[in-house]
């Protein structure tokens, strides 16, 4: 079945991005190798410079190779999309699924936060990851929020999950998730995003560098495309945002509850989360009822 024009453009863009990132990786490797070679014969005063440049470009090489693999996997998933019927309303993000596949994990989720550290958007690789992020939003605790709060990676496995997050932990374990890792991502000079990886390969410990490179690739996909040789007018973003959960209705409901209960929006959000927990319902469903005025918390 031929791809619709919109998907065809997204596929072309994914292929181009993979090629661009591959070229950048090769270039970074060449520069790193040159500095590594020069290091062996450099004067003492230049050795620190060549070491720094070699390390910097090896890191850039890894970032670009990770990005190339993600975009190549994304392109392959787009090619298969119309051979595998999907419920598009509940479908995960193809780009998130490609990132998860690249990491060798069971799932992954990217969460964007506002300056007040409340969730604004969540994109997930599969249903279990999406459910896990809904739990974190409902309970107000979990790895994404923790990594944002601490400004450093967090990891928990087995019994550590429930010990670290007493409410979130047991609930996420019921989804079959046995380990979580999260890394923070800086945006505009602030830590406003987090990548959570579910059941990552742990034989030698979590590969935090790979997680960070993946997170930065996903964040870059939210920006305006910049493809060498591509028509800027026809280039489009991957489907990360269109397939994400936007929490605007929850924040709108929190504003309404704040007025009704004469409390701050933080307390209002806590009331909505408590109601969702008590009724075993998704927090966005409770929020929708509040916005539609079929439910009042006071």
Contacts of 214 (CB under 8 A, 6+ apart): 66, 70, 99, 102, 103, 108, 195
pLDDT computed for residue 266 by the predictor: 79
- Please state, in angstroms and rounded to a whole number, the distance separating the CA atoms of residues 165 and 63: 31
* Mean pLDDT computed over 210-225: 81
* Contact present, 122 and 131 (Cβ < 8 Å): no
pLDDT computed for residue 231 by the predictor: 43
The helix/strand/coil state of 243 is coil
Query: Does the pLDDT at position 225 exceed 70?
Result: no
pLDDT computed for residue 157 by the predictor: 93
* Contact present, 14 and 6 (Cβ < 8 Å): no
* Contact present, 122 and 245 (Cβ < 8 Å): yes
pLDDT computed for residue 42 by the predictor: 81
Residue 292, judged by CB atoms within 10 A of its CB (0-12, 13-18, 19+), counts as exposed
Q: What is the dihedral of CA 94, 222, 122, 120, to 10 degrees?
A: -160
Query: Does the pLDDT at position 21 exceed 80?
Result: yes
Which carries the bigger pLDDT value, residue 261 or residue 172?
A: 172
**Which range among 66-80, 171-185, 194-208, 219-233 has the greatest average pLDDT?**
171-185
- Sequence ranges of the domains in the chain: 5-81, 247-291
pLDDT computed for residue 176 by the predictor: 94
Please give the share of the chain, as a percent, with pLDDT higher than 90: 30
Q: Got the DSSP string for 183-229?
A: EEEEETTEEEEEEEEES---TTS--HHHHHHHHHHHHHHTSPP--TT
The helix/strand/coil state of 125 is coil
* Contact present, 148 and 113 (Cβ < 8 Å): yes
* Contact present, 283 and 273 (Cβ < 8 Å): yes
Query: Does the pLDDT at position 296 exceed 90?
Result: no
pLDDT computed for residue 270 by the predictor: 83
């Amino acid at each position: 079945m031929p791809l619709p024009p919109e998907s065809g453009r997204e596929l072309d863009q994914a292929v181009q991005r993979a090629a661009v990132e591959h070229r950048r990786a090769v270039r970074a490797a060449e520069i790193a190798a040159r500095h590594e070679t020069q290091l062996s014969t450099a004067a003492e005063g230049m050795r620190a410079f060549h070491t720094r440049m070699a390390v910097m470009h090896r890191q850039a090489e890894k970032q670009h190779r990770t990005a190339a693999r993600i975009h190549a996997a994304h392109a392959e998933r787009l090619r298969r999309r119309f051979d595998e019927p999907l419920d598009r309303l509940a479908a995960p993000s193809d780009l998130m699924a490609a990132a998860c596949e690249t990491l060798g994990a069971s799932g992954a989720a990217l969460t964007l936060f506002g300056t007040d550290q409340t969730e604004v958007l969540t994109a997930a690789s599969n249903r279990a990851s999406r459910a896990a992020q809904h739990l974190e939003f409902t309970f107000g605790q979990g790895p994404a929020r923790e990594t944002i709060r601490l400004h450093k990676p967090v990891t928990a496995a087995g019994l550590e999950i429930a010990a670290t997050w007493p409410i979130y932990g047991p609930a996420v374990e019921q989804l079959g998730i046995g380990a979580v890792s999260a890394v923070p991502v800086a945006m505009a000079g602030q830590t406003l995003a987090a990548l959570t990886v579910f059941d990552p390969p742990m034989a030698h410990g979590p590969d935090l560098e790979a997680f960070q490179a993946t997170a930065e690739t996903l964040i870059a996909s939210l920006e305006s495309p910049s493809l060498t040789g591509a028509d800027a007018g026809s280039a489009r973003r991957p489907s990360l945002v269109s397939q994400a959960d936007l929490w605007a209705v929850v924040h709108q409901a929190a504003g309404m509850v704040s007025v009704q209960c004469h409390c701050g929006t933080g307390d209002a959000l806590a009331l909505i989360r408590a109601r969702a927990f008590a009724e075993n319902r998704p927090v966005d469903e409770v929020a929708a009822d509040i916005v539609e005025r079929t439910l009042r918390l006071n």
